[in-house]
Structure 1
Amino acid sequence: MFIQNFQRLYPSGYLDRLMKLLDQRLEPGADKNCIDRRIWDLFGEEWAIMFTDLSGFSRLAAEFGIIHFLQTIYESQRLFSRCIDDYDGVTIKMEGDSMLVLFRQPLKAVECAIDMQRAAKEYNRDKIEVEQILLCVGLGYGKILSIGEQDVFGAEVNAASKLGEDTAKAWEILVTESLAEYIRGRENVALQKIDFIPPGAKAAYQLIYER
């Protein structure tokens, strides 16, 4: 009972503090720079951000119905949750066929993304085309605003979301420049620059790895 009550109260304390500071920011004559520093001091943290998406999912859901939609979501979450646990990821939210996951260590985010892709390929071996899971991943790294377990905000969050949900094709892992800095020179992986640069990032790359 104590743990359940704690889980209900703890995030609300974060949100309450943030709302009060935002209210102060709207007051006439407010020192917005000072308030912004306070917000970053309270909620600013460095994380690697992962956004996932399933290629062709909307088309298949429309064609094969809601049960197929739910089954694919269930199977993908069951499959990927093990990988996320293995690399110490924290799942913040799941919306439809997309997941937002945080990692303290950027290399663990990369390793997890590769492991998730390999797990999906293994899963698809004996599946017909319409039942296959085709994973797209976007990764970023940097200082973000983390509001308890409610949500996260920041330029790298937006960039990773744009890469994972809108830009990456099936089997692609796309990363921002900030995360790419932790990959360069590593064995068994390489970076290929892409033309698209998501808002909030300096550049973006496709991660090339042994499949």
Structure 2
Amino acid sequence: MANIPSNNHKTDGLLNSRENLQRLLGQIVEYPDRRAEITEIIENTFGDNKAVLVLDMSGFSRTTQQFGIISFLLMIHQMRSICEPCIQQNGGILVKAEADNLFCLFDQVVDAVTASQEMSACLKAANAVLPTERHLYASFGIGYGRILNIADEDIFGNEVNLASKLGEDIAGQDEILLSSSARAELAESEINTREENASISGILLTYYKVEQLSAFI
């Protein structure tokens, strides 16, 4: 029987790696009777309690159709160069960039919200000197909870999915939306939010919209 490792993936990269995850998943397939044991090993090795921030850049289809893919890739590059310092300055890390999305991790939800507000403000400042057709806009979804964190290179979990859904499908331009779990991590006085609901695939989803402060508008 395999020993269950402690959750020490931040110091032991050999345990927390894509290769090790694939090996463990392969063992579940090969030894289905050990599924519970190996699942516990995976959760102890890769499990992490984090705030997940997903940024979605607006206008992909419109800009690509009008100016071509190179123009939009340039806008993604500009967006990332503007936003990444805001992420780092608030204690976050950029886990991955996929198409026009950024996936980030923070220890605290309040830091993820602050980073989102600063990114929105910095994008607005950049738009002041950019041609109208090159303006940069983003929306933000934030979740919080137990996820699988693969060496700070990839992330999986329900709150990752919720943050993606909020940021990509529900949030409007410059909006910051929180999952219920993310909102529960905030002190009442830290961030002002408003409860809202949306129906997705017949399921009612409750989320919280951050009410923007004038300093970030």
TM (norm. structure 2) is: 0.84
1:99 aligns with 2:102: yes
Deviation sequence 1:15-64 (CA, Å, 0-9, x none): 23222221221135513222211110111011111111111222112211
**TM-fit CA distance, 1:200:** 11
Given that 1:61 and 1:68 are in contact with CA atoms closer than 8 Å, whether structure 2 keeps it comes out as yes
Q: Structure 2: any 5+ residue segments left out of the alignment? A: 1-11
The residue that corresponds to 1:44 in the other structure is 47
The one of 161, 172, 178 aligned to 1:158: 161
Determine the C-alpha separation between the residues in 1 that align with 2:78 and 2:202: 32
1:203 aligns with 2:203: no
Listed as ranges, the matches of 1:163-178 within 5 Å are 163-178=166-181
The one of 49, 73, 78 aligned to 1:70: 73
The one of 25, 32, 35 aligned to 2:35: 32
1:120/1:200 Cα in 2 relative to 1: closer, same or farther (>3 Å)? farther
1:101/1:30 Cα in 2 relative to 1: closer, same or farther (>3 Å)? same
Determine the C-alpha separation between the residues in 2 that align with 1:33 and 1:202: 30
The residue that corresponds to 1:189 in the other structure is 192
Determine the C-alpha separation between the residues in 1 that align with 2:41 and 2:28: 11
**TM-fit CA distance, 1:13:** 6.1
Code of the aligned partner of 2:27: Q
1:192/1:13 Cα in 2 relative to 1: closer, same or farther (>3 Å)? closer
Helix, strand or coil for the counterpart of 1:31?
helix
1:188/1:13 Cα in 2 relative to 1: closer, same or farther (>3 Å)? closer
Residue-pair matches, total? 203
Given that 1:160 and 1:176 are in contact with CA atoms closer than 8 Å, whether structure 2 keeps it comes out as yes
Helix, strand or coil for the counterpart of 1:101?
strand
Determine the C-alpha separation between the residues in 2 that align with 1:76 and 1:44: 30
Q: Sequence identity, in percent?
A: 32
Deviation sequence 1:80-135 (CA, Å, 0-9, x none): 01111110111111122111111112110111011111111222223332111111
Code of the aligned partner of 1:68: S
Determine the C-alpha separation between the residues in 1 that align with 2:163 and 2:204: 9
Code of the aligned partner of 2:170: T
Helix, strand or coil for the counterpart of 2:73?
helix
The residue that corresponds to 1:20 in the other structure is 23
Code of the aligned partner of 2:75: T
Determine the C-alpha separation between the residues in 1 that align with 2:187 and 2:205: 16
Given that 1:184 and 1:191 are in contact with CA atoms closer than 8 Å, whether structure 2 keeps it comes out as no
Q: Structure 1: any 5+ residue segments left out of the alignment? A: 1-8
The residue that corresponds to 2:84 in the other structure is 81
TM (norm. structure 1) is: 0.86
Deviation sequence 1:143-197 (CA, Å, 0-9, x none): 1011113311100011111111222111111110010112351256222323246
